[in-house]
């Protein structure tokens, strides 16, 4: 098994940087369906360019490489302890080389272990099988879409859809609601894996295992196959669209499995996966550990996804030179596309919490500043400087309790993130003269290219790479105004309209 670690390292690298064949095909369908000039079309265009860049750069498609989760089928007599050790070493090595973001933090203190190793991380499931080969499958599922997983206990009253009983129609209502509640926050268009039955734990595991089915497969159970097709069709009439901008494609796949349950419980567990659906597998030779074959890699797969140049410039964009003035941002309206040049700071969960209780050091000037909700992948150069290798937005709604106060306290003029924010922030934007800009979630390579210099970092020691406050100089960084300083929110509009559509599906 000399080559086992090398094989796992290849699996991690390929999973992080190169989407599987079936996922590529599904995304290509979404690109075809959206009007290239619409916001949904722009989002799909940036996504397609990003997918190609990740392959070319052998770098993470999305900066959030999730909690590496391995499912292993091992033959009789295989040394599982050795496999576990070698997987851990491969994970640490992939983190050192920037194929994975250091993503394992202490549950309570938030302290980053720095190498993706920690209590029960990486997640490794072993299952015996009768075959001679070893099968290693990996899913890298980021935190934003993981947060949109949802579990229902039937019977239940489902918002917008009414009573859901313990039958297929009840399950149908849960699944439509699951897609609705994700809106654009899990980087739609997404995929759902569904587990009917089991208990709370095994139900979610069953749901996640469905994400290992091919997007284009057929469910052996005809009733579940019909439901999968119905959900796919109906969810796409919710008009949530890519990134929640509105549009034709909201869901790209629905896979449903069922387990026995106890009479008292009827769970419907849903694992939501973003468009950056990173899962691959390999079959390994049990003697050498070498790769015999790859799974989900199709001979006829679509190798280049891009049709255009990301967010194409039309001349109508508003160029913002940061720091920006109040007049500049008050002129912006929902739907405007902005191109940002100049200074940008990152800040996310730990940073917002910190700001509520402390003042920033005097040397950090945030007046007129742009705060990017982003946890980048950053590598240190030999001369001590830093380079950004993946830097897409994180889900902004987590900062809803703090954002309006932080805008006021730091004198910010723009927030960049994804998925939108709520009423408290919208009011804060109006009061203090600021805007919310939506970047394209998951487009980590596309945005990394816009960051030409890392000018400094604060709180690196305490908060770790993803949560630290990084200071960037950016060039031609595109984003869409989705919440303006006049009380308008595209997110509120899409949510309201999709709730109306949901109601018509009762």
Ligand X SMILES: O=C(O)C[C@H](O)C(=O)O
Binding residues for ligand SF4, rule: CB under 6 A, are 62, 64, 142, 144-145, 186-187, 274, 276, 392, 441-442
Least distance between ligand X and beta carbon 242 (Å): 14
CB closer to ligand SF4 out of 248 and 373: 373
Q: Considering only residues 257-316, where is the footprint of ligand X by CB under 6 A?
A: none
Q: Which of ligand X, ligand SF4, none has residue 434 at its interface (CB below 5 to 8 Å by kind)?
A: none
Q: Which residue is nearest to ligand SF4 (CB)?
A: 142
Q: Is 63 in the site for ligand X (CB under 6 A)?
A: yes
Contacts of 59 (CB under 8 A, 6+ apart): 16, 17, 53, 98, 99, 377, 389, 390, 444, 445, 448
Residue with smaller CB distance to ligand X, 60 or 253: 60
**Residue entry with tokens 């995929």:** 191
Q: What is the end-to-end Cα distance of the chain in Å, rounded?
A: 55
Determine if 143 is a binding residue for ligand X (CB under 6 A).
Answer: yes
CA atoms within 13 A on the CB side of 291: 17
Nearer to ligand X, 310 or 419 (CB): 419
Q: CA nearest 238: which of 194, 154, 178, 166?
A: 178
Distance, CA of 106 to CA of 117 (rounded, Å): 10
Dump the DSSP string for 1-19: -TTHHHHHHHHHHHHHHS-
From the list ligand X, ligand SF4, none, pick the one residue 396 interacts with, judged by a Cβ distance below 5 to 8 Å according to partner type: none
| 15 belongs to the binding site for ligand X (CB under 6 A) | no
Question: Quick one: angle between helices 168-182 and 490-503, nearest 10?
Answer: 170
Structure tokens that stand for 236 in this block = 């796409």
The pair of structure tokens assigned to 288 is 């050498």
Q: Which of 142, 170, 184, 198 binds ligand X (CB under 6 A)?
A: 142
Q: How far is the CB of 173 from ligand SF4 (least distance, A)?
A: 24
Nearer to ligand SF4, 428 or 441 (CB): 441
Whole-number minimum distance, CB 474 to ligand SF4, in Å?
18
Do 477 and 344 contact (CB within 8 A), yes or no?
yes
CA distance 282 to 297: 10
Query: In the complex with ligand X, which residue's Cβ is closer, 83 or 104?
Result: 104
- Please state, in angstroms and rounded to a whole number, the distance separating the CA atoms of residues 117 and 111: 12
Q: How far is the CB of 362 from ligand SF4 (least distance, A)?
A: 33
149 is a site residue for ligand X (CB under 6 A): no
E strand or H helix at 332, and its extent? none
Q: Which does 375 bind (CB under 5 to 8 A by kind): ligand SF4, ligand X, none?
A: ligand X
Give the whole-angstrom CA distance, residue 307 versus residue 305. Answer: 7
Task: By CB under 6 A, name the one of 375, 420, 422, 464 that touches ligand X.
Answer: 375
**Residue 366 binds which of ligand X, ligand SF4, none (CB < 5-8 A, kind-dependent):** none
CB-nearest residue to ligand X: 144
Does 458 engage in binding with ligand X (CB under 6 A)? no
Applying CB under 6 A, among 210, 394, 425, 438 the residue interacting with ligand X is 394
Is the Cβ of residue 31 or residue 171 nearer to ligand SF4 in the bound state? Answer: 31
- CB crowding 352-362: b at 16 or more within 10 Å, else e: bbbbeeeebee
- Contacting positions for ligand X (CB under 6 A): 63-64, 142-144, 375, 394-395
């Amino acid at each position: 098994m000399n080559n086992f670690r090398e094989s796992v390292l290849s699996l991690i690298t390929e999973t992080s940087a190169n989407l599987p064949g079936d996922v590529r095909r599904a995304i290509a369908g979404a690109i075809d369906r959206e009007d290239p000039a619409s916001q949904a079309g722009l989002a799909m265009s940036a996504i397609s360019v990003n997918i190609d860049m990740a392959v070319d750069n052998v770098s993470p498609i999305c900066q959030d490489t999730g909690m590496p989760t391995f499912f292993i089928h091992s033959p009789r007599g295989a040394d599982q302890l050795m496999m576990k050790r070698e997987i851990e070493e491969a994970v640490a090595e992939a983190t050192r080389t920037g194929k994975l973001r250091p993503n394992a933090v202490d549950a309570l203190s938030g302290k980053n272990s720095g190498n993706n190793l920690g209590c029960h991380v990486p997640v490794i499931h072993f299952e015996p099988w009768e075959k001679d080969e070893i099968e290693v499958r990996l899913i890298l599922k980021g935190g934003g879409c993981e947060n949109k997983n949802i579990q229902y206990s039937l019977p239940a009253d489902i918002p917008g859809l009414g009573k859901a009983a313990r039958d297929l129609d009840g399950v149908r209502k849960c699944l439509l609601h699951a897609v609705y509640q994700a809106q654009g926050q899990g980087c739609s268009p997404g995929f759902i894996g569904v587990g009917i039955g089991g208990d709370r734990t095994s139900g979610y595991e069953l749901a996640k295992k469905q994400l290992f089915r091919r997007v284009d497969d057929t469910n052996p159970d005809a009733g579940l196959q019909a439901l999968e097709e119905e959900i796919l069709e109906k969810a796409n009439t919710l008009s949530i669209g890519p990134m929640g901008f509105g549009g034709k494609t909201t869901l790209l796949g629905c896979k449903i499995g069922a387990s026995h349950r106890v009479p008292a419980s009827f769970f419907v567990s849903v694992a939501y996966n973003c468009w950056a659906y990173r899962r691959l597998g390999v079959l390994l030779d049990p003697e050498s550990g070498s790769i015999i074959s790859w799974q989900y890699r199709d001979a006829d797969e679509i190798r280049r996804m891009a049709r255009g140049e990301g967010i194409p410039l039309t001349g109508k964009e508003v160029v913002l030179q940061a720091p920006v003035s109040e007049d500049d941002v008050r002129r912006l309206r929902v739907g405007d596309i902005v191109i940002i040049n100049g200074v940008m700071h990152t800040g996310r969960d730990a940073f917002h919490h910190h700001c509520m209780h402390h003042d920033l050091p005097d040397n950090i000037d945030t007046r007129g500043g742009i705060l990017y909700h982003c946890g980048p992948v950053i590598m240190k150069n030999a001369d001590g400087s830093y380079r950004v290798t993946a830097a897409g937005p994180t889900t902004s709604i987590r900062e809803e309790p703090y954002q309006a106060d932080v805008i006021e306290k730091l004198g910010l003029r723009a927030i960049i993130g994804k998925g939108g924010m709520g009423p408290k922030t919208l009011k804060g934007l109006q009061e203090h003269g600021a805007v919310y800009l939506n970047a394209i979630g998951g487009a980590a390579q596309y945005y990394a290219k816009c960051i030409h210099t890392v000018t400094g970092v604060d709180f690196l020691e305490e908060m770790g790479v993803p949560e630290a406050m990084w200071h960037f100089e950016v060039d031609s960084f595109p984003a869409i105004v989705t919440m303006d300083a006049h009380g308008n929110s595209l997110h509120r509009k899409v949510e309201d309209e999709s709730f109306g559509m949901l109601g018509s599906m009762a």
